[in-house]
Amino acid sequence: MKYNVKFEDIGLKDYKETWDYQAGIFEELKECKTGGKMTEGSGEYRRPGTLILVEHPSVYTLGKSGSGNNLFLDSVQLRAKGAQFYRIDRGGDITYHGPGQIVGYPIFDLEILKIGLKEYVFRLEEALIRTIGEFGLTGSRLQGGTGVWLDPGIKGRARKICAIGVKASRYITMHGFAFNVNTDLRWFDYINPCGFTDKGVTSLERETGLRQDMGEVKTILKDRLRDQFGLEWINEEE
């Protein structure tokens, strides 16, 4: 069975504006489920999901279980650097979003996909692992930490290339992943990324030594997400 999904690449967009936008879609999907709305003639609930890809101006976000001590800048310093900060309702600790990073917000119904949250995160990770594999990199998982890592089992070498933090309610997902492509990694110097004090952060550009074409990377990533979740794009003109 294919899962119908609308794909949106919205370019560079303010974090709060995008958060409000995805939250609106998230609430609409939840309301459709609780209201019992069904696709005509199907006999069961069916509502297309949405996949948003976006880049944000510099912003730090802290998950609901994270510690504010993992951010080393105060509000004055943040403003001086032209960055924002938000406490948000996803899982995970602190991370950075900025230009050159692909942020993905899948707003999916896990009941339609017939998977649980753990499997959902696993498939997100797998899509990213296969994406970076197209560039000659071997991505892995880290026990006790979500996301995609390089050399996670080598002391002093473990570095994260993609962070994942999600929220789900009534099996509807929001938030998602942050994939460092051409990201300015100096922004991570001001935090303990994802709460880790002994692990690094990297990007596709740093690992390959080449500045990447964001459009090409997005196309590969979109295809790998389609493969992992059995997606059917309902707006192929994109």
CA–CA gap between residue 163 and residue 145 (Å, rounded): 9
CA–CA gap between residue 141 and residue 186 (Å, rounded): 24
Residue 127, token pair as written in the block: 């899509």
Q: Is 163 exposed, middle or buried (0-12, 13-18, 19+ CB in 10 A)?
A: buried
Backbone torsions φ then ψ of 6, nearest 5 degrees: -90, 130
Could you confirm whether 194 is annotated as catalytic? yes
Residue 58, token pair as written in the block: 């510099």
Where b means 16+ CB within 10 Å and e means fewer, 110-145 reads: bebbebeeeebbebbbbbbbbbbeeeebebebbeeb
The catalytic position among 25, 174, 194, 217 is 194
Residue 135, token pair as written in the block: 């560039």
CA–CA gap between residue 137 and residue 149 (Å, rounded): 10
Q: What DSSP letter does each residue of 12-70 carry, written as one string?
A: E--HHHHHHHHHHHHHHHHHHHHTT---TTTSS----EEEEEEE-SSEEEE-TT--GGG
H or E element in which residue 121 lies: helix 117-133
Backbone torsions φ then ψ of 94, nearest 5 degrees: -95, 145
- Point out the residues that are catalytic: 194
